[in-house]
Each structure stands twice: as C-alpha cells, then as structure tokens.
Amino acid sequence: MELVALLGKNEGTMGQVSGVINHGEWDNIFLLGDSSSKNFTNKKDFEFIEISDGSIIDLKEEISKKLKGKFKGTEVALSIAGGDGKTHMALISALLSDPVGIRFTVLTKDGLVFM
C-alpha cells in the first residue's frame, strides 16, 4: 500500500508522520507540505510534494495535478495529522477525484491503526 501524509508545521505532527512512516511497510511514500516542511527527514525514502496556500479550490487542483499518475493501486493510506481543515478537504477531494480509496492511518500507543 502507498502512504500519503500531510506534514504540519510543528514537531508533534512531524513526529506522528515519522511514526506512521517507520511502523508501516509502504510501496511508496508521498509527503505533502508547504515550503516550511521541505526539510523533513526520515530514514525511509519518500517523495516530498510542495503545496501552496491558495484557495481551497486552487489547492485541490494543485494537489490533483501533482499526484496524478503516482499511485499504482486503487487505495492509499492517508495520514492527516498535520495541516488544517482546508488542506485536509482539498487533499481528500483530490484523492477521491483521482480516484483512489483512502484508509485513514494513525500511529497509536498500540501501533499503526487503519481506520
């Protein structure tokens, strides 16, 4: 399964994303964030996709264009621990328009959970 994760601007969300990355077996990892997130590092390989902060419609179109053709399967794991509601809505809309199914993914004290 492929992972799509939204990076936030604070350490807590970056820690959550690192945990999800490190506790899963991913075919590909795509991390989305603004320019302040591009210095994120992890021992596993990932593709960073920089996104802007435009209107929700523009953001959805930007994400759709940047993710087009990247997924091998019909379903992705999605971590939205970072970001805000506008970015969450734009990302989810872009993924469903691709179309791919989404499985929300979070790291808990009990391990990686698909919701």
In this prediction, residue 1 has a pLDDT band, given cuts at 50, 70 and 90, of: very high
> Would you state the pLDDT for residue 9?
73
CATH class for the domain made up of 2-114: alpha beta
What pLDDT, in 10s, does the model give residues 39-79?
899 999 999 999 998 899 999 999 999 999 999 999 999 99
In the chain the first and final C-alpha atoms are separated, in Å, by: 14
Which has more confidence, 26 or 15?
Answer: 26
> Would you state the pLDDT for residue 8?
81
Q: Please, what is the average pLDDT of the chain?
A: 94
Number of helices (H), then strands (E), belonging to the chain: the values are 3, 6
The encoded tokens of residue 73 equal 């399967």
Sheet with 101-108: list strands edge to edge: 47-50, 29-33, 2-6, 75-79, 101-108, 111-114
The encoded tokens of residue 83 equal 């970001």
